[in-house]
Structure 1
Amino acid sequence: MDITGHSSDFITDQSFLAAMKRFTLRQAQRWPGLFLDGERVTAESIRDWELPENPEDDYSNIVTFSESQNMEDFWEDRGYALNDHGEGPFSVLYKHYPGALHAHQVTGVQIADPEDSAAVEGTSLLLSEYFAVSLVTPEDPKTDPFSGNILRDFLDAFSRSTDPGVPGGTMN
């Protein structure tokens, strides 16, 4: 399968590990027949799931999401595309970087409280380690409702409020 969809790219800290679990649990709620990396899973089995990572791999790791075996087959034939129901397979590519990241100036800050945004805007960023992450959706989240919902779920997973069974999570 080729990576042909729309990529939304992020740099995250170690919270990515717990956020990814929250995101995956949300997808199991969206699609009760969720296929994760080509295998059917349930919300219960995801609670024990760990994000795969191969530290010796020079390439990104990937987690794939699809609704069913039919969508898995659709993906093989059509790639990242919407089906007749306006939904499609998507994935998260990621790579862990154990070294430091320093950005000289943070711009475009989006935080719920405008005062907090103003306090961060223009500052430097320093992380001791980080993840480079790409959420690949079938279409541009700005124009496609399904892809927009997937992106929103991904961003919401970092709020630590989507699942009580995941470290840092509480039920809304």
Structure 2
Amino acid sequence: MDLTGHSTDFVVDASFPEGMRRFVRLGRQRWPEMFLYGEPLPPGVPADWRLPEPENDGLSGIVTFSSGQEMEDFWEEHGYALDVEGQGPYAVFYRHHAQPLHATTVSGVHASSQENAAAVEGTGLLLSEYYAVSIVTPEDPDTDPFSRSVVNDFLASFGEPTAAPV
């Protein structure tokens, strides 16, 4: 299978595991019969769902999402692609970094108010630990409504008050 899909990348603070729990709940609202990791998500699990233990390196992981077995089969054949209903599988790849991150200048700030955005725009950033996160959607969220809705759900899971264009 060829690599397909579009990656939207983020740096997320230590709240990533809790935000992912909210993201899984939003996915379940999208697809009541949702599959995670290629398996049906049992009823009631999103409230108790926890980010799985990291992969072999102890730092990275992946969470895959699909609407059900039919989409899983479609994924095997077509990769990250839109089906006839204009939806497709998506995934979150992540890597935990347990060391500090420093950025000299923060730009392109989206915040709950213009005042909050202005207070942060142009400042430095220092995180004691962080997650590097890639959301892989079937298409570019700038041009595809389904892919945009997935990224907007991710943003909403971390408290983005109104989903901003990506």
TM superposition score normalised by structure 1: 0.87
Cα-to-partner distance string for 1:54-92 (whole Å, 9 max, x where unaligned): 275177311000001000000000000000000000000
Alpha-carbon shift at residue 2 of structure 1 (Å)? 6.0
Q: Is the 8 A contact 1:25 1:43 kept in 2?
A: no
Letter in 2 for 1:78: H
Report runs of 4+ in structure 1 exceeding 4 Å deviation: none
Alignment map for 1:40-51 (pairs within 5 Å):
40-51=40-51
Structure 2: 5+ residue stretches without partners: 162-166
Aligned position for 1:168: none
Q: Quote how far apart the aligned CAs of 1:104 are.
A: 0.8
Q: Which amino acid aligns with 1:108?
A: G
Q: Could you tell me whether the CA contact under 8 Å between 2:31 and 2:67 is conserved in 1?
A: yes
Q: What is the CA deviation profile of residues 103-133 of structure 1, one whole-angstrom value per residue up to 9, with x for unaligned ones?
A: 1111111113111111101111000000000
Separation in structure 1 between the aligned mates of residue 97 and residue 13 of structure 2, nearest angstrom: 10
1:79–1:98 distance in 2 versus 1, CA, 3 Å: same
Count matched residues. 161
Residue aligning to 1:99: 99
Q: Tell which deviates more after alignment, 52-61 or 74-83.
A: 52-61
| Cα pair 2:59 2:97 within 8 Å, conserved | no
Q: In structure 1, how many angstroms separate the alpha carbons of the residues matched to 2:60 and 2:3? A: 12
Counterparts in 2 of 1:43 and 1:134: CA distance versus 1, 3 Å:
farther
Correspondence for 2:6:
6
Offset of residue 159 of structure 1? 1.0
- The one-letter amino acid of 1:34's match is M
- Give the match for residue 26 of structure 2: 26
Q: From the superposition, tell whether residues 24 and 113 of structure 1 become closer, same or farther in structure 2 (CA, over 3 Å).
A: same
Q: What is the aligned partner in structure 2 of residue 35 from structure 1?
A: 35
Tell me by how many angstroms 1:15 deviates: 1.1
Q: Could you report, residue by residue, the CA deviation over 1:34-67 in whole angstroms, capped at 9, with x for unpaired residues?
A: 0000110145112222111327517731100000
CA gap 1:2/1:129 in 2 versus in 1, 3 angstroms: farther
Match of 2:72 in 1: 72
1:133 maps to what in 2? 133
122-131 or 47-56, which deviates more: 47-56
Amino acid at match of 1:96: H
The 2-side partners of 1:154 and 1:35 are apart by: 17
Aligned sequence identity (%) = 55
Q: What is the CA–CA distance in structure 2 between the aligned matches of 1:91 and 1:103, rounded to whole Å?
A: 27
CA-based RMSD of the aligned residues comes to 1.8
Partner of 2:156: 156
